[in-house]
Every structure is written in C-alpha cells, then in structure tokens.
Amino acid sequence: MARYYYDDEFPVYISTAERRRKAEREASKLKGAFPVVISGTRIAKTFWGKSWCQNLERYSDYANRLPRGRTYVRSGCVVDLQISSAVVKARVSGSRLYDVEVKVSPIPDQRWKAVCVDCAGAIESLVELLEGRFSKLTMERLCRQKTGLFPTPSELKFDCSCPDSARMCKHIAAVLYGIGARLDEKPELLFTLRKVDQQGLITNASQRMTKPKTNKVLENQNLSELFDIEIVEPKRRKGK
C-alpha cells in the first residue's frame, strides 16, 4: 500500500494502482496534456535522462523529498509536463490537481563557452550528441557539478499550488524526475531549457567533419528519421 495525503493534512492509504487510475482520469480531462509515462521500474534509461536524475540526487537539499517524488512520477501522477526556454510547467495529480512551475537559470555565457572549448573535437555530429555517444571523459565534462550542463540548487526556483510549505514538495520532486524522463524522449529539450545552442558543442569539430570517416558517415535512413524528411536517392545515368 502507498501512503497518500488527503488535503495534505490527514494521511490515507491507497494502492499505487488506484493512484495511477486517478491520475489517468485527471489527464483525460486536460486538453493538450503531455503526461509523463514511465514504463518499467527505471525513470530514465538514456544518458541524458539518467544524468539529469543523478544530478538531482547529488544535492543533500533534495534528499528528504526526492523519494516521494519518485513514487509520484512512477505512479503516473505527472499528468502534464511542458518544457520551454528556461521554464517547466506541469500539473500533478495529488489529493487534487496541482500546478507546478520550475524555473531554470540559463547557463552563463562564459560557462557555456568553457564547456564547448573543453569538448571541441570530441563530439562529431548532432546524432552522436543527442544519443549520448561519446567518451567517458566528455561525459564527465558535460555532467561536471557546477560547471557542466546540469543545474545546481541555486539555479532552480520552484512553485506549487499545494499547501505544503516546504521549499520542495513531493509534487515538485515528481516534476523534476519527470524532466529526466522527458529528456529520454527528447534530449534536445535540455538545451532549450538551459537556453544554449547544442550546435556549439560540435561547431569546433566542423573542419574535421568535412573529411568523413567510414564509420562516421550517416546513412540516408538515419538522416530521414532525425530530421523528419524524405531523402531521394540521385538517379544514376545510363551506362554508369
């Protein structure tokens, strides 16, 4: 059984399955909702999603509230989550439907330039970047605490419509984990959220990319899937 707070004052016990059914009913009432759906036991499975969640768990400020947030997001309680430039807006199903907003500070220009310089030549394509396919050294630089891509507690501001007076309530914690799950699906949203251009990480490698290596050339099929366009093979001349 899972503990559930009715009106955030009196504890009531309900099953996770019932909590999920309630969240699904709430989501069905919302137009244009983009719920967070977790399949399996892991919230995130890819490099960007897992790195976001691991970054959250580095900070002792969040330790007391994160477990409840994990339970809520796994139960499907984040019934809508929208990521835009420097802000995340979400709705979380609790004893009622709560509005959550998470503001994320943009990465300072000097910090972003330092990241790009340090990663110069190590990331050779947009596909490689979004799929998180690079060296351990590059991964460590991108995820470096305070000077990497992921926010510190001081770079996050929260607001929730629930009556919980804590700086981070369980609804906010659920949304923070929900961001990690969303980055599994669309890792480019991290760059939107931090207000930086992911192209900066591969610009310095552009000259190297003009001489494609056999194992780095993208197939037309991959290009079609990435950019959602149809690539037509050039017609061969007769006799060729």
pLDDT tens digits along 162-209: 998 888 999 999 999 999 999 999 999 999 999 999 999 986 544 433
CA distance readout (Å), 195 to 76, 107, 126, 150, 151: 28, 7, 17, 12, 12
pLDDT tens track for 16-39: 666 676 766 776 777 778 899 998
pLDDT tens track for 128-137: 999 999 999 9
Higher pLDDT, 215 or 179: 179
Query: In angstroms, rounded to a whole number, what is the distance separating the alpha carbons of residues 102 and 160?
Result: 9
* Model confidence at 231: pLDDT above 60: no
Q: What are the extents of the domains in the chain?
A: 2-211
Full-model pTM: 0.77
| Residue 181: closest CA among 52, 19, 27, 10 | 52
